[in-house]
Chain A
Amino acid sequence: MKPFQYLRPKTIAEAISMAADDPEARYIAGGTNLVDLMKRGIASPTKLIDINHLPLKKIEHRYDRLRIGALALNSEVAKHKAVVTRQPLLAQALLAGASGQLRNMATVGGNLLQRTRCSYFYDLALPCNKRKPGSGCGAEGGINRTHAIFFAGNGFGGIEKSSCLAVHPSDMCVALTAVDTVVVVNGPDGERRIQMKDFLRLSTQQPELDTNLGPGELVTAIEVLDNAFAKHSHYLKVRDRASYAFALVSVAVALQMDGGRIWDARLALGGVAHKPWRYWAIDLMLRGKAPSEQLFREVAEHEMESAKALEGNAYKIKLTSNAMVAALKTAAGIS
């Protein structure tokens, strides 16, 4: 690990000023990802700005939304009463991620900013457009069993235009993508509110950028808008072992049901794209209909028409489809 400067600001303003004018400065909270990246030589910040003492831990429900401070721990959020009752999908997704020890260290802000676990990204000796723009994508023509099947502008020559085949590793972000979430950030130019769908990026251009955060900007909170999905939501994670593994595929489903029919439907997929993949058309396809396995199968297969497998991950087409069916069935309460 390269030598770096360690700073501990007392206020948000002080933290932002410390990061200003230094593109190599990094904020650190739980450090569960950044420290790994530093050890492997992938991140070598000049400055580590430790934000753990900033007042950003609060979880509260106000007006029409649940506001979760960026420093709230994954484990605290997952068990918080307001989260469990109002946004159980988020609680489920958080508990599906990492391990108990990591969730006790990892923060919500850090979870949003996790970098991919693609093994080419992690090995300095191998090419990676995300780590070293222009060096090529190691996963292309390489080991890509866990890589993407949905790409920027799928159906419009997606793979060809993607400079990075990696997938986003977060479970939490999949749940947040399914429902309406706002990311609150603060920076040299003041506070900004970014829709979750616009916060993370696809990899058409500049795959080195995972998010649309500006230079020196700091995530301060997320806000999950109230919804009527609590009774019919489900997070399904498919992985190579029972716990402590990144998703091969995950599905966040949120349904609003009444009188045996679906009136609103949201679905996002993890492990299939450079960012959580929102299935935008599902609401139109399910609205007003009674849930059934056949309906869900049709809906799932429809979305998979725009997926495209790489050499090593053809299985993901069927697996993703199956996982959507399984998650939709559970959320709808049919067997």
Chain B
Amino acid sequence: MKKQLLDNASDTSLDRVDGAVKVTGTATYSAEYLVPGLVHAVLVTSTIAKGSITAIESREAEAVPGVLAVISHLNAITVPGWPERKQPAERVPVGTALRVFYDPLIYFDGQPVAMVVAGTREQAVHAASLVRVTYQQETHQTHFEKNIGKAGVALNVQRSKNSPFQDYQRGEAAKSENTEVRIEAEYTIPTQHHQPLEPHAIIAVWEADDKLTVYDKNQGVKSAQGQLAQAFKLPRENVQVISKYIGGAFGSGIRVWPHTMAAVMAAKQLKRPVKLVLGREQMFTSVGYRPYTVQKINIGATKDGRLIGIVHEGTGQTSMYEEHLERTVLASRTLYACPHVATRYRLLPLDVNTPTWMRGPGDATGMFALESAMDELAFALKMDPLEFRLKNYAESDPERNLPWSAKSLRECYELGAEKFRWNNRMQAPRSVTQNGLLMGYGMASSLYGFHRHPSKVRAVIQADGSVIVQSATMDIGPGTGTAMTRIAAKVLGVNAKKIRFELGHSALPDAPGQNGSATIPSVGSAVHVACEALKTRLVALAREMSERFKSGGQVVVRNGQVYGSVDDKDGVSYADILKYHHLNELEVTEESKSGAERDQYSMYSFGCHFVEVLVSPLTGEVRVTRVVTCADVGAIINYKTARSQSIGGVVGGIGMALMEHSEMDHRFGRYVTTDFAGYHIPVHADIPPIEVYYIDKPDVHVNPIGSKGLGEIAIVGVAAAIANAVFHATGKRVRELPITPDKLV
């Protein structure tokens, strides 16, 4: 670790601009706003998976000192954006988000059925334990394998011809059946939960009858604003959503979930600000999860290792009321130069809550299958897994028949292999031991589509030359503010310490939520464009001050000053420019978005991971002992925070591969691993040295900053690399995650 930092002694990265407030506890997270008159809400959740509520006995709870209300479908306010309640209640059509406290129907175990609001959280927790709910239970179906026959094409996909989730075929579908060397296998990933350390929390404040402010943990203040405005039929500007600091989310905060609605409804009903913090066990049924998914891969190649065909089928679980679709099978169309490819994607609705996007959604799942199958096929071919991948390298996008905007995956493979010393790998599994433990090497590729959404940024220079840059973007952990500050500092030639980047407030200029690795490509571009515009304005103003600045393209900015040319010794400071023109501040707002390049190029981030494991032959315990991860994401904006993001992705991948598993007892349709003693995520002792490398070559076609997304590819493929290393160590192929000792002993 130390060595790695020293290797980058010349690195000029910024430290996290919000690092100090975070580590000193002065950053204010959603649950921490001090709002006068605040009261506390605690949810009561269902203990059956399907049926309806027949009675709610709340008198005992209401008698607890401090309790203000017990809210349920029996007495909750009417949400104006929801249709009128039906008598008797009817199950909603597919595609309807769960309406909390709307009717007595139960769609999944853990569904909110009541909520106690009290003066203190302790009073509310105690009273919630006294609410007695009785149900009329119906037979539930939560078991994936037992219901697999009910899987089908999503209604959403049936309705949309252009859906990427339509069945896909190029070449001949059955080609992989007749190849010289062939692998057919089934891969399973269990339900896995995001479980960020900060639980989801909200404070809802009705400032007036038609004016709402929420401090809410989410990944998109603008989208939350829109969803809340729609639900309560308010003008957008009457709803403000604030989410400045987030203690991890990984996708759990992309939507407005029922608990958020519950708090807003309670605040409206009681005319008091209401705080609601989910309990750890409630986090398992309230904010989505990576869906249980079963995949079949049929993959074949010629004897000399040329891929001929891939058939990739995936079925993921969803709820009875919504369809959650993800990119599970899509990478098989794109990653390799393979002439015959077919993909099929199905959904299996069960009596569970709706899944959602979790870091590397779909791709992390799909690449576990594809890159495991590639490893199996390489072994069958007696080929080095890396050599096999290089042999089938896609020089252009085989799905869209377009050139890549840029692709340095080959360089990633080469750099990663060199740093990892992959060449030392013995081909035969179970051939290396260290202190009685079996050692294995594994690798896998990574890819993730490029996403860029229209983004607005406001850049302001103030009288003292300091700069404020604003956008309603988010930071769920990667260090958005730090990267944006770096971009602004570079364009404006201003010291980063004089720049303040503001985010996480819906009143700021419109920006997408933080998901799909889109923040740097989208908002970073807008920061660049806005700061360029501001610079242009400053230079124009400077020109009015002196002949020196009139020399066309010669003018440069640095150290917060405008210079006539690179060699110019005397510049004029931004502060002096504003002073000369009697301006208190100078402001621009710019929007940046994709253009025609989207149709001319295929755009992806790429990467690869190399993993070393040690496995105990007696106990089956797997420890990852070394990881080299290498990414091609165009230009790296801020090395230090990028590196942290890559490390975080690998840590998440280790959890996915070796530990994370939300187990359900299907007799009850209820999760039984609902705390951190039951749901294992990696601890420090599980994490080896992780070396991170970037190709760091700008992709000139994607956006003005040449930078693509990093968040997702950091995890995509890691689980496969680990499973492949475990095979190499033990000779045993585990196709069902997580790889726990019981599967190897």
* Chain A-chain B contacts (Cβ-Cβ < 8 Å), number: 95
Given A142-B667, A145-B742, A241 contacting B125 (CB threshold 8 A)? no
Is B648 in contact with chain A by the CB < 8 A criterion?
Answer: no
CB neighbours (8 Å) of A242 from chain B are 623, 683, 685-686
In contact, A238 and B670 (Cβ under 8 angstroms): no
The 8 A CB mask of B120-135 against A (1 = contact, 0 = none) is 0010011001000000
Task: Give the contact stretch, choosing among A62-70, A209-217, A273-281, A317-325.
Answer: A317-325
Is B208 in contact with chain A by the CB < 8 A criterion?
Answer: no
Number of interface residues of B (CB under 8 A): 37
Is A117 in contact with chain B by the CB < 8 A criterion?
Answer: yes
The 8 A CB mask of A304-327 against B (1 = contact, 0 = none) is 000000000101101100110110
Given A138-B665, A243-B686, A1 contacting B126 (CB threshold 8 A)? yes
Known contacts A117-B677, A126-B670, A245-B680, then 11 further A-B pairs from the complex at CB < 8 Å, ordered by chain A residue? A122-B678, A123-B674, A126-B665, A142-B665, A145-B742, A238-B621, A242-B685, A242-B686, A246-B677, A315-B742, A319-B620
In contact, A318 and B745 (Cβ under 8 angstroms): yes
Q: Which residue of B lies closest to A127 (CB)?
A: B668
Is B348 in contact with chain A by the CB < 8 A criterion?
Answer: no
Is B740 in contact with chain A by the CB < 8 A criterion?
Answer: yes
The 8 A CB mask of B664-708 against A (1 = contact, 0 = none) is 110110101111011010111110000000000000000000000
Residues of A within 8 A of B (CB): 1-3, 41, 99, 117, 119-120, 122-123, 125-126, 138, 141-143, 145, 236, 238-246, 248-249, 313, 315-316, 318-319, 322-323, 325-326, 335
Measured between C-beta atoms, what is the minimum distance from A293 to chain B in Å? 10
Q: Which of B125, B618, B665 contacts A322 (CB 8 A)?
A: B618
CB neighbours (8 Å) of B668 from chain A are 125-126
Q: Which residue of A lies closest to B436 (CB)?
A: A335
Interface residues of B in 682-739 (CB under 8 A from A): 682-686
Interface class of chain B by DSSP: loop
Is B631 in contact with chain A by the CB < 8 A criterion?
Answer: no
**Bound complex: CA A117 to CA B677 (Å):** 8
In contact, B742 and A248 (Cβ under 8 angstroms): yes
**Bound complex: CA A322 to CA B742 (Å):** 12
CB neighbours (8 Å) of B619 from chain A are 236, 238, 249, 319, 322-323, 326
CB neighbours (8 Å) of A241 from chain B are 658-659, 680, 682-683, 685-686
**Bound complex: CA A326 to CA B618 (Å):** 7
Measured between C-beta atoms, what is the minimum distance from A260 to chain B in Å? 21
CB neighbours (8 Å) of B659 from chain A are 240-241
CB neighbours (8 Å) of B680 from chain A are 240-241, 245
Is B392 in contact with chain A by the CB < 8 A criterion?
Answer: no
30 interchain pairs (CB within 8 A)?
A1-B122, A3-B126, A41-B129, A99-B683, A120-B672, A123-B672, A125-B668, A126-B665, A141-B667, A142-B672, A143-B664, A236-B619, A238-B620, A238-B621, A239-B621, A240-B740, A241-B658, A241-B682, A243-B686, A245-B677, A248-B742, A249-B619, A313-B742, A315-B741, A316-B742, A318-B745, A319-B620, A322-B618, A323-B619, A326-B616
Measured between C-beta atoms, what is the minimum distance from A165 to chain B in Å? 13
The 8 A CB mask of B7-37 against A (1 = contact, 0 = none) is 0000000000000000000000000000000
In contact, B129 and A243 (Cβ under 8 angstroms): no
The 8 A CB mask of B606-637 against A (1 = contact, 0 = none) is 00000000001011110100000000000000
Closest 8 CB pairs of A and B: A242-B685, A315-B742, A243-B685, A125-B47, A119-B672, A322-B618, A238-B619, A326-B618
CB neighbours (8 Å) of A240 from chain B are 658-659, 680, 740-741
CB neighbours (8 Å) of B47 from chain A are 125
Is B184 in contact with chain A by the CB < 8 A criterion?
Answer: no
In contact, B745 and A315 (Cβ under 8 angstroms): yes
CB neighbours (8 Å) of B665 from chain A are 126, 138, 142-143
Measured between C-beta atoms, what is the minimum distance from B361 to chain A in Å? 24
CB neighbours (8 Å) of A145 from chain B are 663, 742
CB neighbours (8 Å) of B129 from chain A are 2, 41
The 8 A CB mask of B646-662 against A (1 = contact, 0 = none) is 00000000000011000
**Bound complex: CA A120 to CA B678 (Å):** 11
**Bound complex: CA A99 to CA B667 (Å):** 34
The 8 A CB mask of B412-454 against A (1 = contact, 0 = none) is 0000000000000000000000001000000000000000000
In contact, A126 and B745 (Cβ under 8 angstroms): no
Measured between C-beta atoms, what is the minimum distance from A130 to chain B in Å? 15
**Bound complex: CA A120 to CA B672 (Å):** 7
